[in-house]
Amino acid sequence: MITQVLAIFLTAICGGLLAWKFKQPLISGYLLASVVVAIFFGRILRPEANEAVGQLGLTLLLFSIGLEFSFRRLARVKAIAVLGAIIQIVITTAIFFFILNLVFGFLPASALVLAYAFSMASTAVVTKVLLEKGHMDTLKGEIATGWLMTQDLAVLPGLILIGQIGQIGLIWKDTGLAIVKSAVLLYLIVFLGKKILPKILDKAARINNRELFTLTIVAIILVSAMAANFAGLSLAIGAFIAGLIIAESAQNHTVFAEIRPLRDVFAVVFFVGIGLGTDLGYLANWTNLMNLIAVTLLIFLIKIIVSLVITIRFKYHLKTAMEVAFAVSGVGEFALVLGLAALARGIITPAENAFLTGVAIFSMSFSPFIINLGLPVFEKTKNLAGRWSPKLYKLLFSEFDTYRKERGEVVAYDHVITCGHGRVGKQISRILALAGIPYVVVDFNHLTISELSATGVETVLGDPADIDVLRFAGIAKAVMVVVAVPDRHSQELIISHALTLKPGIPIICRSHFDEDRGRLYAVGANYVIQPEMEAGLTMGHKLLDVLGFEKQTINAFVKQVRKEQER
């Protein structure tokens, strides 16, 4: 047993280090390393010994995901994130079901489980990529994370359905009754949880003993898991529900801080155990391996197309739609969860679970590359369409940018063009309004533009990185351009196009990363502002002010730090 546990953690460390070195999600490293270890040492190790610990790890993992779930964040893009994600799950599940059933010969029950699992992307992989790029709070980031939150919640009906599928197929009458029963019991769990859990956590926190508080949290998880199990659901669902309830309480951050170390350890055991338990005999077959790769690529393609069409139908700009579609196109860790549950019920065979695991491993390994292709594919498609097919260009691109087709160029003089109206752009616009300086907001979020237009603000719905959109915004008569969009590629295009249309126009740009400042200055920006640095300087200024330093001394210190940062 000690050898088994040691092998698990050594595998996780090696896989994690490799993933970190190549800037990939750690989960991909765990899975790939565990498969490699299984190939060479599979006869020595006993993957079945991981099952109990892995189930506990899965329970804690789902609890922490529920704890991190934010209904407030979801509310900002609820239409596209909720309805769009549900439509995507339904459509892609139907498509994958017919492909797996009719083309690859899977039995209906197996095909349904695998199709549903393949319809969900990886929250862990996508959020990691968005955080690394500084795109979490962008429009595409908010839509993608909201979309993924909905998919996380969709695991619940998936696990409920798996619990009702027999080996010979679906018994629809029994399934419907079971789902109603489960829904009633779930409602009781949630209702009682909201009434009782916050009080228990408050009392545990007042004791002011970290060890007792942690034990209380674990007890809550286990009680919720047992209640769900009594309702005919899995332990993991109960833990997930407990996380959702606590996420809305005042103690949510404290709970997450206490449970995260345990979650990480057991999650590693779960994911490594998945790889060690892979049916290598299935993967060793060349035909099976080719089918696996073909299905993985097909999943990316189908989900990109479906998600792209859905996002466009919600009236989002093609650029946003393409970036979101590429972000949510993969297969995620919950596919493994669903596969494990289906395998335990005898709905899918070990070979079919190996197929599912292989698709998930390939998908999570390549997803970071696929996610980053959204913007380049958009730009490449746009350039090719503009060069070879004006009709296609107008259909795919111009229609998204001509918000005021009945009017010509924006009628404004001596105005400031603000590119992007997110958290930064919003503050700039407010200052310009207070100062009485005319300004035009350029953004490709139709909801933002509609709200601003309703208040009388001069707006342009379009991609600010498009030279025609900047021309439409009246840059020839503008006095300055403010680049408030977060991604460097768009920033460079805006600066370049602005200087092409009006050489010498002053440009102020934001930047999250130190390494981007030099590139933006080289392209032609006059000022590059780093929000994080400005926040640090402001906090330092306030700190010294509270400690009683003279304003002249404080200003000198701040000036010195600013010079050091700009070197």
Count CA atoms within 13 Å of residue 455 on its CB side. 12
pLDDT of residue 168: 43
Q: Which residue is it, tokens 């160029």?
A: 409
- Helix-then-strand count for the chain, H and E: 28, 8
447 burial level (CB within 10 Å; 0-12, 13-18, 19+): middle
* Nearest partner of 224 among 234, 243, 245, 239, judged by Cα: 239
Of 198, 230, 233, give the one whose Cα is nearest residue 216.
198
Structure tokens at 58: 């899965």
Bridge partner list, 509: 483, 528
Closest CA to 328 of 123, 65, 76: 123
pTM of the model as a whole: 0.75
Q: How far apart are CA 325 and CA 562, in angstroms?
A: 40
For residue 125, what pLDDT is reported? 76
DSSP H stretches of helix in 314-436: 318-327, 333-344, 350-371, 374-388, 390-393, 399-401, 423-435
Cα–Cα distance, 386 to 57 (Å, whole number): 52
What digits encode the pLDDT tens for the residues 445-478?
888 888 888 888 888 888 888 888 888 888 889 9
Structure tokens at 310: 């859905």
**DSSP-based three-state secondary structure for 277:** coil
Q: Which residues pair with 482 in a beta bridge?
A: 418, 508
User: What tens-digit pLDDT sequence spans the chain (567 residues)?
Assistant: 566 667 777 777 888 888 778 776 677 777 777 777 766 665 555 555 555 555 666 677 677 777 766 666 666 667 788 889 999 999 999 999 999 988 888 888 889 899 999 999 887 778 777 776 777 767 888 888 888 878 877 877 787 777 666 544 444 455 555 556 556 665 666 666 667 777 787 787 777 777 787 788 778 778 877 877 776 666 777 777 777 777 766 666 677 677 667 666 766 776 776 666 666 666 667 787 888 888 899 999 999 999 999 998 888 888 888 999 999 999 987 888 788 888 877 888 888 888 888 888 788 778 878 888 888 888 888 778 777 877 777 766 666 554 444 455 666 788 999 998 888 888 899 999 999 999 999 988 888 888 888 888 888 888 888 888 888 888 889 999 999 988 888 899 999 999 999 999 999 998 877 777 888 888 889 988 888 788 888 898 889 989 888 888 888 888 888 877 765
Continuous H helices in 134-209: 139-162, 172-206
Residue recorded with tokens 């109960």: 238
Residue 170 pLDDT: 47
Question: What pLDDT was estimated at residue 387?
Answer: 78
Q: Are 354 and 282 in contact (CB under 8 A)?
A: yes
pLDDT at 165 (0 to 100): 63
Look at residue 404 in the predicted model and tell me its pLDDT: 43
Rounded to whole angstroms, how far apart are CA atoms 322 and 308?
6
C-alpha atoms less than 13 angstroms from C-alpha of 90 in its C-beta half-sphere: 7
The single-letter code of the amino acid at 66 is G
Nearest residue to 381 (alpha-carbon basis) of 361, 400, 366, 353: 400
